[in-house]
Chains A and B, each alone.
Chain A
């Protein structure tokens, strides 16, 4: 088992390097750099000046070398201008170049300086990630149990009325993208003029607030409450619930037709026990992988929902970084995303082995 994890970690590392290189390459394409030069320097720079700026700020030369510098395995660039002023990756203007370290990349903890937030990337990303972490946690807490219960309930008696009702619900919820369900939810629950809020307000049930839930999650950055957090969480969870419930249902119906389920029934095991003890564990093997693979996908939903509800988390940051050509921040975001994806992969592989005794090592 140890060896297996070690090998998987090795493969993960290689994948991470390859993926981040691709992102690095794409964000550092010439047009991006020119745009950067114009925003950092002056918008009216001449073509030549732009090229000079790029060269003087360490953005020229081989992309491999630049990637190495960013990673921290190649010494950072330095540039001495005609005035003898030294500039470099590892020290600010005016600092003593000799005292600065040679290497300063990701590995040394130097994630760069966000051109948009004007703060070090590490600092600006840290609390954004924490905010998103809370959101994801809440989504998982709602989504996983709900979808598993729905899937198992509809899969245990295929074709029954329960099955058909629940299946209709899950298909509808997967078929609705977040930007649609988000807007619908807001209209239904979080506007003072439409939906159910005016009715509830009339009976004085939601005093002193005007709406059942809040349409903006900005206040949840400081203090998470039922009122401000429900809608963003539900918007993301709804889509996932439908999807995972479908998977669970498929796997459950398949398990219920297996011979060992018949064996259990013919042993006289009551139906409820057949489901709980004999079917459940076997039925969860497939959806488990799906749930783990939902994590990276959640990042995606997070981008939409955070923008929609104005919740300043990772997704919102990503949107800002991309629209403002903030290369260091964009790179950092992609590193985070890649790591999350690969880690969930690893956990899903290991968990699969644990759930399924057939492939567990003897």
Chain B
């Protein structure tokens, strides 16, 4: 065995990780794909470095490059990765193996996939110290138990003897974190560790990571596409664009005084508090991200940059320029010192607020129960899952009603019932005064079907991969019996492409030739093909990148304004909900716990769940002060909901309710001022005393 160089050689005031001019390529049969180019960044001991950028910009490749885990076709082409002064890129496999897991640990996106399904959690944890410090099995299991308690999992004894599938997503991610911490590594790499989790669960994990980082003095490389999250966790940030670092520096400095046009554009495209769909709409970044092998000459961001200057920006590769008088702030922009960074964006157009008309859709006491059988082998008693519990609301013409809630709260079931894909168990759905509650979609007349349409979450699954875009839209028109002749339908199809701002030439393209945002536009075009009056958008932008999100959201809003469509916008992302909706409905375990106008819901008095939800959403604005309320535990299973108030297992206000009302009785709906509804036992006095969760700091 090769001797491992002793740690003493490393001076803790030196960087723990120093990446210099790193280039990584993937070699495919067709060509070399340069995924990362000339990337440099430095992480000091105890520091947390955030790595942000759009999908495909090379964040994960950098992380895996540090781990030297690039698969068969990936290779470090040039540059060095120094960990504690030693170059990882030139280390032998055996040396590398001693560093992996003990000095550098990695956590990635999907917790379920990163745990071995056939091994007990405890065994997977205990393996690490047994391997790296030759600990005995008993001692290792004891340590595993301690660390499991450290990551604040309830009942550690049960958990270490469980298999991964017996834990919830949040618990699994905590186990993955525990596994990374078993050997007390000096560097922790987290690749989108919370993307698969709900916001309230995410908030808990983020707090845990921060706290453990401080406790053990671990340095972190935190990868995320969520700027708010990076602000919460990190000290420093590195913004990546198309394989390069374009700006790096202290988080506050980069957020408040960004010196790169891409960073600026990114911030302008995310819905921060204060953005408004009419007065201050989001600005999307025009154009598309270049593929790694199709990068433009000169500055990679050139074709999409507002400050682009011909002859300069496209002349030669742009190096990193240090920003003077700053905390190691650097930018990859030639013109950074010429640009007026305080000027307001030029092309922000103020839009007219849509008028809200008569009631289009009305639901009363809607219930949807599913009955499922118990055991895995089909035995056991039948159970009832109450997916939706007495839903009542109405939606008006031209209105955007947002439905928010975490996974399993019944959002999608509700959408299915409305669409007629499922029939309600009881209650009524009135659509233009016609009761469609128990009419499944096959029996609805085409008129009703074309009036209610849906935009789905995942633009990748909903298009037929073997049919051109134009053909798919024409199919929808045929189904809705639109137009008399093929020519007429063809014209309408082209109009629809105009409507969703896609070039008409796209009619001939196949879905695989489109980007995610473009596919989602086709989905929207299809939904509006029959002149839909009500459109249900189920997380329409959550699979898209921030810069594209803005464009797709604005598109939806524009079409709505024009057609006076009622939009039911289902989402878990409160920032975007605040930005675009008129009214908000908050759901938890099948119950509507709060409903009101956007202003009512986003300001106190809150329902205790809404309060926690709001406080959990990371906001990428240094001037916002957020009260942290971290919910304990996970969302209970819909199969086995708690008695009384659905939220009682995690509610921090419960003690304010006299007696054990919360545990025994389902709270009534209280109607506060302005028709604001809250389903809670708290008295009006207590509700009135609630403080806002989000405050703008005094300048």
Chain A residues with CB under 8 Å of chain B are 3-4, 7, 159, 258-260, 262-270, 277-278, 281-282, 355-362
Residues of A within 8 A of B163 (CB): 357-358
What is the bound-complex CA distance between A359 and B378, given in angstroms? Answer: 12
Given A260-B113, A268-B131, A361-B376, 12 more A-B residue pairs with CB atoms under 8 Å apart are A3-B379, A259-B114, A262-B69, A267-B100, A267-B101, A267-B128, A268-B102, A268-B128, A355-B118, A357-B117, A357-B165, A358-B165
Given A266-B106, A268-B98, A358-B163, residue A4 in contact with residue B114 (CB < 8 A) = no
Q: Which of B99, B128, B166, B377 has the most CB of A within 10 A?
A: B377
A270 near B379 with CB under 8 A, answer: no
A-B contacts, 10 listed (Cβ < 8 Å)? A4-B379, A260-B115, A266-B101, A266-B105, A267-B131, A270-B97, A281-B118, A281-B119, A356-B118, A362-B166
What is the bound-complex CA distance between A259 and B111, given in angstroms? Answer: 9
What is the bound-complex CA distance between A25 and B376, given in angstroms? Answer: 38
Instruction: Give A348 Cβ to nearest chain B Cβ, in Å.
Output: 15
Residues of A within 8 A of B375 (CB): 361
What is the bound-complex CA distance between A270 and B97, given in angstroms? Answer: 7
Closest to B102 in A: A268
Instruction: Give A158 Cβ to nearest chain B Cβ, in Å.
Output: 9
Pick the contact of B110: A259, A281, A357, A359 (CB < 8 A): A259
Closest to B96 in A: A268
Instruction: Give B188 Cβ to nearest chain A Cβ, in Å.
Output: 12
What is the bound-complex CA distance between A124 and B165, given in angstroms? Answer: 52
What is the bound-complex CA distance between A211 and B179, given in angstroms? Answer: 60
Closest to B100 in A: A268
What is the bound-complex CA distance between A65 and B375, given in angstroms? Answer: 41
B118 near A282 with CB under 8 A, answer: yes
What is the bound-complex CA distance between A321 and B41, given in angstroms? Answer: 80
Instruction: Judge if B116 is at the interface, Cβ distance under 8 Å.
Output: yes
Pick the contact of A268: B99, B115, B118, B379 (CB < 8 A): B99
Pick the contact of B127: A265, A269, A355 (CB < 8 A): A269
Residues of A within 8 A of B131 (CB): 267-269
Instruction: Give A235 Cβ to nearest chain B Cβ, in Å.
Output: 35
Leading 9 A-B pairs by shortest Cβ distance: A268-B101, A267-B101, A259-B113, A268-B100, A4-B377, A260-B116, A357-B163, A263-B114, A281-B118
Residues of B within 8 A of A258 (CB): 113
Residues of A within 8 A of B165 (CB): 357-358
Residues of B within 8 A of A269 (CB): 101, 127, 131
Instruction: Give A256 Cβ to nearest chain B Cβ, in Å.
Output: 11
Instruction: Judge if B26 is at the interface, Cβ distance under 8 Å.
Output: no
Given A267-B127, A361-B375, residue A282 in contact with residue B102 (CB < 8 A) = no
B116 near A278 with CB under 8 A, answer: yes
Instruction: Judge if B679 is at the interface, Cβ distance under 8 Å.
Output: no
Residues of A within 8 A of B187 (CB): none
Chain B residues with CB under 8 Å of chain A are 67, 69, 72, 97-102, 105-106, 108, 110, 113-119, 127-128, 131-132, 163, 165-166, 176, 179, 375-377, 379
Residues of B within 8 A of A159 (CB): 72
What is the bound-complex CA distance between A356 and B165, given in angstroms? Answer: 11
Instruction: Give A41 Cβ to nearest chain B Cβ, in Å.
Output: 54
Residues of A within 8 A of B98 (CB): 268
Residues of B within 8 A of A4 (CB): 377, 379
Residues of B within 8 A of A357 (CB): 117-118, 163, 165
What is the bound-complex CA distance between A270 and B100, given in angstroms? Answer: 11
Closest to B94 in A: A270
Closest to A158 in B: B72
Residues of A within 8 A of B376 (CB): 359-361
What is the bound-complex CA distance between A281 and B114, given in angstroms? Answer: 16
What is the bound-complex CA distance between A360 and B110, given in angstroms? Answer: 23
Residues of A within 8 A of B179 (CB): 263, 267
Overall SS of chain A's interface: helix
Pick the contact of B117: A3, A262, A358 (CB < 8 A): A358
What is the bound-complex CA distance between A360 and B113, given in angstroms? Answer: 19
A282 near B117 with CB under 8 A, answer: yes
B108 near A259 with CB under 8 A, answer: yes
Residues of A within 8 A of B110 (CB): 259
Residues of B within 8 A of A263 (CB): 114-116, 176, 179
What is the bound-complex CA distance between A11 and B4, given in angstroms? Answer: 62
Instruction: Give A265 Cβ to nearest chain B Cβ, in Å.
Output: 7
Residues of A within 8 A of B97 (CB): 268, 270
Closest to B109 in A: A259
What is the bound-complex CA distance between A277 and B110, given in angstroms? Answer: 21
A265 near B69 with CB under 8 A, answer: yes
Q: Which of B97, B118, B377 has the most CB of A within 10 A?
A: B118
Instruction: Give A104 Cβ to nearest chain B Cβ, in Å.
Output: 38
Residues of B within 8 A of A362 (CB): 166
Residues of A within 8 A of B67 (CB): 266
What is the bound-complex CA distance between A277 and B131, given in angstroms? Answer: 13
What is the bound-complex CA distance between A357 and B118, given in angstroms? Answer: 6
Instruction: Give B408 Cβ to nearest chain A Cβ, in Å.
Output: 20
Closest to B377 in A: A4
A264 near B100 with CB under 8 A, answer: no
Residues of A within 8 A of B128 (CB): 267-268
What is the bound-complex CA distance between A360 and B376, given in angstroms? Answer: 8
Residues of B within 8 A of A264 (CB): 116, 127
Closest to A284 in B: B118
Instruction: Give B91 Cβ to nearest chain A Cβ, in Å.
Output: 13
What is the bound-complex CA distance between A269 and B129, given in angstroms? Answer: 11
Instruction: Give A333 Cβ to nearest chain B Cβ, in Å.
Output: 33
Instruction: Give A273 Cβ to nearest chain B Cβ, in Å.
Output: 8
What is the bound-complex CA distance between A150 and B106, given in angstroms? Answer: 33
Residues of A within 8 A of B119 (CB): 277-278, 281
Instruction: Give A315 Cβ to nearest chain B Cβ, in Å.
Output: 36
Closest to A267 in B: B101
What is the bound-complex CA distance between A267 and B132, given in angstroms? Answer: 9
Residues of B within 8 A of A356 (CB): 117-118
Residues of B within 8 A of A278 (CB): 116, 119
Residues of A within 8 A of B176 (CB): 263
Instruction: Give B106 Cβ to nearest chain A Cβ, in Å.
Output: 5
Residues of A within 8 A of B102 (CB): 268
Residues of A within 8 A of B99 (CB): 268
Residues of A within 8 A of B106 (CB): 266
What is the bound-complex CA distance between A362 and B72, given in angstroms? Answer: 39
A282 near B69 with CB under 8 A, answer: no
Instruction: Give A355 Cβ to nearest chain B Cβ, in Å.
Output: 8
Residues of B within 8 A of A270 (CB): 97
Residues of A within 8 A of B69 (CB): 262, 265-266
Instruction: Give B373 Cβ to nearest chain A Cβ, in Å.
Output: 13
Instruction: Give B615 Cβ to nearest chain A Cβ, in Å.
Output: 32
What is the bound-complex CA distance between A270 and B132, given in angstroms? Answer: 11
Residues of A within 8 A of B132 (CB): 268
A266 near B100 with CB under 8 A, answer: yes
Q: Which of A265, A267, A362 has the most CB of B within 10 A?
A: A267
Instruction: Give B69 Cβ to nearest chain A Cβ, in Å.
Output: 6
Residues of B within 8 A of A265 (CB): 69, 100
What is the bound-complex CA distance between A266 and B71, given in angstroms? Answer: 12
Residues of A within 8 A of B114 (CB): 259-260, 262-263
What is the bound-complex CA distance between A282 and B165, given in angstroms? Answer: 14
What is the bound-complex CA distance between A269 and B101, given in angstroms? Answer: 8
What is the bound-complex CA distance between A349 and B72, given in angstroms? Answer: 37
